[in-house]
């Protein structure tokens, strides 16, 4: 009987008892919940939302992440949803673009652009088999690397206490952030099981407790919050802006390519097979439909959560009952404003100390993807030049100062857009190289580089 129950864990349609489902489902909730709500908190702060709207933004993130997960598990018809064991949540990858839009325009502009970007995701999903050739690992890895780099300034702003907050840059904020980060690192490398998988959550809990003793936490918004509230339809409004739309379209395309990686990792790591074209197409379309629906209720773009993919590939548990339970818990948590208000009461220095590890992981994921290709003169040019232009333009204020306003908004606010466009164009334009010639060329170039470094 015990052997039979074990086999049901590894069967997508298997039947499990509630007591078997609960701990496995909660493990997924714990692994995703911080990463899901933090983008909402960051964007809400940038947009200058009041406490009640911040709570609503966090609520929507949870509710529609749960709904998006259910769409992926069950699928709508045969086209919308992958029917794979994945957990969905609001993606950190969008944060640089979302904060740029919120800072320059408004939060309503985010959701208008998101609807257009989601529509492009759906189209991408329909034609994914033909379009994927334009996004090899060197292009995708370069863009993901740029996303990670662009998030570091956000992390440091949070570690310092949050721009505009009293005491920004104080030693106390840095101390709490470093303690939080230390707990996360310790649990990541010196613990096992749930402690390791939920290291970020436990790190935030440690930082939160310390902040309580230091008088850095206010419960005013928690006491004022109600016990139950549904997400509100078009509460934040919808506004369409061409420059914001272009930025979000690029990000949705990048996220669609990343989804292919997560879906493929799920099937290969936990199901010992390749993801089918139908699963990949349905998963990307499901992402687009979920993001479009979420935009109407104040939820920012959702994506497959790689942390949860990691859990699936590690324990091989793919029973859909586990993921249904997890999604229900996420939805219920989003319907309770008291819970959401507790999340936004977390000091920004604590969030910064915990999430900097996430940003570092995103960066290293990009590097790994770049390194997975042969580091030829062609590939290093694509990655190096794309990052140089994308990052350089944003770092030098006024570098596009005499360009039209729309060009500044698209290319001067987020390094990701320039990086993605340059990487795609270079990949299409630069000629392929023969391996033997490339190897010699790289070896000679490496020798020259080493010589320059030694001289310096």
User: Which helix (H) or strand (E) segment is 88 a member of?
Assistant: strand 88-90
Model confidence at 72: pLDDT above 90: yes
**Residues 267-274: what's their mean pLDDT?**
79
pLDDT at 108: 93
**Residues 426-442: what's their mean pLDDT?**
66
pLDDT at 331: 93
Under DSSP, is residue 76 helix (H, G, I), strand (E, B) or coil?
strand
Maximum mean pLDDT: which of 43-47, 249-253, 291-295, 331-335: 291-295
As a dihedral over the C-alpha atoms of residue 355, residue 356, residue 357, residue 362, rounded to 10 degrees, the angle is 100
pLDDT band (50, 70, 90) for residue 88 = very high
**Residues 343-358: what's their mean pLDDT?**
80
Q: What single string gives the DSSP state of each residue in 280-342?
A: HHHHHHHHHHHHHHHHTTTPPPEEE-HHHHHHHHHH----HHHHHHHHHHHHHHHT-HHHHHH
Model confidence at 71: pLDDT above 90: yes
> What tens digit of pLDDT does each residue of 107-121 get?
999 999 999 999 999
Q: What is the C-alpha separation between 97 and 150, in angstroms, rounded?
A: 10
pLDDT band (50, 70, 90) for residue 240 = very high
* Neighbouring-strand partners of residue 80: 76
Model confidence at 80: pLDDT above 80: yes
Q: What is the pTM of this model?
A: 0.75
Residues 6+ apart with CB under 8 A from 447: none
Looking up tokens 């016990």 gives: 227
Model confidence at 285: pLDDT above 80: yes
Using alpha carbons only, give the angle 97, 100, 101 rounded to the nearest 5 degrees. Answer: 90
Task: Let me know: does 142 contact 148? Beta carbons within 8 Å.
Answer: no
Residues 6+ apart with CB under 8 A from 128: 256, 260, 277, 280, 281, 284
pLDDT at 442: 45
Task: Let me know: does 86 contact 31? Beta carbons within 8 Å.
Answer: no
Considering only residues 80 and 394, tell me which one the structure prediction assigns the higher pLDDT: 80
Looking up tokens 């939080």 gives: 180
- Average pLDDT score over the chain: 81
Q: Count Cα atoms within 13 angstroms, Cβ side, for 275.
A: 26
Domain boundaries in the chain? 2-396+404-455
Task: Let me know: does 98 contact 107? Beta carbons within 8 Å.
Answer: no
Model confidence at 204: pLDDT above 50: yes
* Neighbouring-strand partners of residue 304: 88
Model confidence at 35: pLDDT above 80: no
Model confidence at 177: pLDDT above 80: yes
pLDDT at 443: 47
Q: What is the C-alpha separation between 164 and 166, in angstroms, rounded?
A: 7
Under DSSP, is residue 89 helix (H, G, I), strand (E, B) or coil?
strand
State both tokens at 57. 């933004």
pLDDT at 450: 40
pLDDT-above-70 percentage for the chain:
90
pLDDT at 109: 93
Model confidence at 284: pLDDT above 90: yes
**Other beta carbons less than 10 A from residue 239's beta carbon:** 15
Of 14-18, 191-195, 428-432, minimum mean pLDDT range: 191-195
**Residues 239-261: what's their mean pLDDT?**
86
pLDDT band (50, 70, 90) for residue 264 = confident
pLDDT at 314: 66
pLDDT at 67: 94
The length of the chain in residues reads 456
pLDDT band (50, 70, 90) for residue 139 = confident
pLDDT band (50, 70, 90) for residue 194 = low
pLDDT at 114: 94
Using alpha carbons only, give the angle 183, 185, 188 rounded to the nearest 5 degrees. Answer: 105
pLDDT at 359: 76
Distance, CA of 183 to chain centre: 22
> What tens digit of pLDDT does each residue of 368-380 get?
888 888 888 888 9
pLDDT at 439: 47
**Residues 404-410: what's their mean pLDDT?**
76
pLDDT band (50, 70, 90) for residue 138 = confident
**Residues 50-64: what's their mean pLDDT?**
88
User: Which helix (H) or strand (E) segment is 29 a member of?
Assistant: helix 18-47
pLDDT band (50, 70, 90) for residue 173 = confident
Model confidence at 454: pLDDT above 60: no
Q: What is the C-alpha separation between 286 and 83, in angstroms, rounded?
A: 10
Task: Let me know: does 373 contact 427? Beta carbons within 8 Å.
Answer: no
Considering only residues 122 and 216, tell me which one the structure prediction assigns the higher pLDDT: 122
Task: Let me know: does 257 contact 140? Beta carbons within 8 Å.
Answer: yes
Considering only residues 260 and 123, tell me which one the structure prediction assigns the higher pLDDT: 123
Contacts 24+ apart (CB under 8 A), 43-48: 43/95, 43/98, 43/99, 43/102, 43/107, 43/110, 43/300, 44/107, 44/344, 45/162, 45/348, 46/98, 46/99, 46/102, 46/103, 47/102, 47/103, 47/106, 47/107
pLDDT at 164: 66
Q: What is the C-alpha separation between 298 and 76, in angstroms, rounded?
A: 22
Model confidence at 246: pLDDT above 80: yes
Under DSSP, is residue 383 helix (H, G, I), strand (E, B) or coil?
helix
Under DSSP, is residue 80 helix (H, G, I), strand (E, B) or coil?
strand
Q: What is the C-alpha separation between 432 and 346, in angstroms, rounded?
A: 50
Q: Which residues of 35-50 are buried (b: 16+ CB within 10 A; e: fewer)?
A: bbbbbbbbbbbbbebe
Residues 6+ apart with CB under 8 A from 219: 345
**Residues 276-280: what's their mean pLDDT?**
88
């Amino acid at each position: 009987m015990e052997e039979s129950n074990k086999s049901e864990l590894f069967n997508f349609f298997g039947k499990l008892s509630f007591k078997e489902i609960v701990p496995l489902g909660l493990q997924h909730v714990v692994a995703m919940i911080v990463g899901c709500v933090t983008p909402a908190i960051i964007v809400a702060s940038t947009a200058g939302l009041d406490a009640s709207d911040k709570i609503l933004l966090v609520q929507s993130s949870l509710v529609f992440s749960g709904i998006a997960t259910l769409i992926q598990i069950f699928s709508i018809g045969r086209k919308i949803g992958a029917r794979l064991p994945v957990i969905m949540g609001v993606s950190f990858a969008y944060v640089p673009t979302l904060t740029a839009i919120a800072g320059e325009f408004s939060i309503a502009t985010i959701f208008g652009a998101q609807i257009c970007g989601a529509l492009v995701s759906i189209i991408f999903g329909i034609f994914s088999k033909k379009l994927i050739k334009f996004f090899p690992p060197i292009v995708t890895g370069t863009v993901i690397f740029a996303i990670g780099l662009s998030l570091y300034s956000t992390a440091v702003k949070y570690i310092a206490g949050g721009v505009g907050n009293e005491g920004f840059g104080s030693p106390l904020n840095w101390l709490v952030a470093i303690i939080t980060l230390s707990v996360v690192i310790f649990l990541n490398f010196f613990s096992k099981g749930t402690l390791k998988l939920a290291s970020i959550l436990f790190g935030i809990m440690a930082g939160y407790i310390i902040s309580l003793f230091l008088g850095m936490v206010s419960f005013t918004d928690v006491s004022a919050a109600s016990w139950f509230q549904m997400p509100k339809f078009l509460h934040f409004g919808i506004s369409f802006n061409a420059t914001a739309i272009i930025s979000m379209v690029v990000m949705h395309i990048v996220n669609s390519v990343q989804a292919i990686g997560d879906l493929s990792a799920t099937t290969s790591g936990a199901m010992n097979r390749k993801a089918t074209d139908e699963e990949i197409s349905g998963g990307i379309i499901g992402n687009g439909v979920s993001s479009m629906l979420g935009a109407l209720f104040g939820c920012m773009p959702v994506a497959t959560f790689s942390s949860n993919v990691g859990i699936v590939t590690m324990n091989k548990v793919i029973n859909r009952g586990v993921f249904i339970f997890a999604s229900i818990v996420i939805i219920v948590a989003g319907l309770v404003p008291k819970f959401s208000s507790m999340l936004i009461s977390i000091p920004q220095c604590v969030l910064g100390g915990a999430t900097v590890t996430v940003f570092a992981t995103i960066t290293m994921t990009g590097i790994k993807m770049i390194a997975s290709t042969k580091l030829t003169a062609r590939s290093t040019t694509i990655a190096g030049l794309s990052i140089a232009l994308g990052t350089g333009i944003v770092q030098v204020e006024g570098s596009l100062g005499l360009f039209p306003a729309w060009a500044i908004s698209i290319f001067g606010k987020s390094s990701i857009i320039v990086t993605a466009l340059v990487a795609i164009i270079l990949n299409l334009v630069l000629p392929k190289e023969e391996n033997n010639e490339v190897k010699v060329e790289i070896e000679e170039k490496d020798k020259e580089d080493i010589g320059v470094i030694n001289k310096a």
